[in-house]
A = this chain, B = another copy of it.
Amino acid sequence: MAATMKDIARRTGLGLATISSYFNGGNVREKNRKKIEEAIEELHYEVNEVARGLKTNATRTVGVVIPELNNVFCAEIITEMEDILRNHGYATIVCDCRTNPALEQEAVEFLSRKRVDGIINMPVDTEGGHLRKFLKTGRPVVLIDRKIQGAACDSVLVDNEKAAEDAMDLFFANGHRTIGIIGGPEEISTAQERLSGYRKSFEKHGIPFRESLICRGDYTIQGGVRGLETLVKNNPDMTAVFVTNYEMTMGAVIGLNELGIQVPDQLSVIGFDNLQFARACSPKLTIVSQPTVEIAREAAGLMLKRLESGGDTGAYVTEKLNTEIIAGRSVRCVAGWEPGTPDRKHQA
């Protein structure tokens, strides 16, 4: 068995309170401080955070529940959040729920039993049922990436509608008119918003589009491959494709590759996330890039604020961050159009 504070007390002849005081930044006489440190050394003492957690009713641990760890967007955010939380003395327990709502619910319950002080969640269950019980305990939740209507917690989101609109506007500015989209799952808010941006841009430019240009993907690599194949098959006249997350972007590139389609000569492409992958594509891919580091900072910041403020429930905050377009060479200017020509909406 590991040494306890009692052992240190015995060895130094001091009382428990003194030892505890030593570990919690209290005032301890220099002489005793030394004695304690010697004892720690000799007994290989290490604070037992489990006991401390039981007593203080705070584990200084934050739970993180995400759909998929093996996903660059999630991994980047977690890396950064973990860093920040650790620097503030908080541990992180990450639960990957494999995009499965049942597992997600289990994960939250599991973390609740572990008495984490708060949960940061990129939700799979868009109703938020999995969080209800946890929220009742009064512990804070911060949602990232996807919103849940009416959830009693802070959220950190991205302006997905604008992200999609920007991408589409770029296509239009280069003369494209028949533009496909590989969207995400219907129930996920980011997918809804990106699709809405797609539609909005068509409207704004006064250009009709047909339903066959919209392909519902599932945010996976294989979904991207299939999405691209479907779009190409059903729309021989399509000149551009917008892919709405990283995994599907990779899938679309695989599909283009395997079908032998030249980018951008035969098809223009705008993808999503992961600048390094975009650089590795030939020609370099134009992408919409999400501010993962900022998302992480905001989320960790909001969580810390709730945790440090001792539970006085301030109004819930929803942050909305902006994406940017990183230009590559995967968008071609359609014949007869000058690059960057303003669209003809107001002239037509």
Cβ of B279 and Cβ of A258 under 8 Å apart? yes
How many angstroms from the CA of A71 to the CA of B82 in the assembled complex? 15
A: interface residue count bin: 35 or more
Please give the distance in Å from A109's CB to the nearest CB on chain B: 7
Asked if A53 CB lies within 8 Å of chain B CBs, one says: yes
Contact between chains at B50 and A59 (CB < 8 Å): yes
Contacts of A53 in B (CB 8 A): 50
**Copies of the polypeptide in the assembly:** 2
A57-80: contact bitstring with B at CB < 8 Å (1 yes, 0 no)? 101010000001111100110110
Task: Report B-chain residues with C-beta under 8 Å of the C-beta of A94.
Answer: 82, 92-94
B2 engages A137 (CB within 8 Å):
yes
Q: Mark A95-115, 1 if CB is under 8 A from B, else 0.
A: 110100000000001101111
Question: Is there an interface contact between B109 and A44, defined as CB atoms closer than 8 Å?
Answer: no
Q: How far apart are the CA atoms of A257 and B282 in the complex, in Å?
A: 6
Identify which of B48, B69, B115, B281 contacts A75 (C-beta below 8 A): B69
For A29-58 the 0/1 string (1 means CB < 8 A from B) is: 000000000000000101111110110010
User: Judging by beta carbons under 8 Å apart, are B250 and A276 in contact?
Assistant: yes
| Chain B residue contacts of A137, Cβ below 8 A | 2, 44
Instruction: List 10 additional A-B contacts (Cβ < 8 Å) besides A91-B110, A93-B94.
Output: A2-B137, A48-B115, A50-B53, A51-B54, A70-B79, A92-B93, A250-B276, A257-B279, A258-B279, A280-B280
**Chain A interfacial positions (CB closer than 8 Å to B):** 1-2, 44, 46-51, 53-54, 57, 59, 61, 68-72, 75-76, 78-79, 82-83, 86, 91-96, 98, 109-110, 112-115, 133, 136-137, 221, 250, 253-254, 257-258, 276-277, 279-282, 284
Q: Could you list 8 examples of A-B contacts with CB < 8 Å?
A: A48-B113, A50-B54, A82-B94, A82-B95, A83-B98, A91-B114, A250-B276, A257-B284
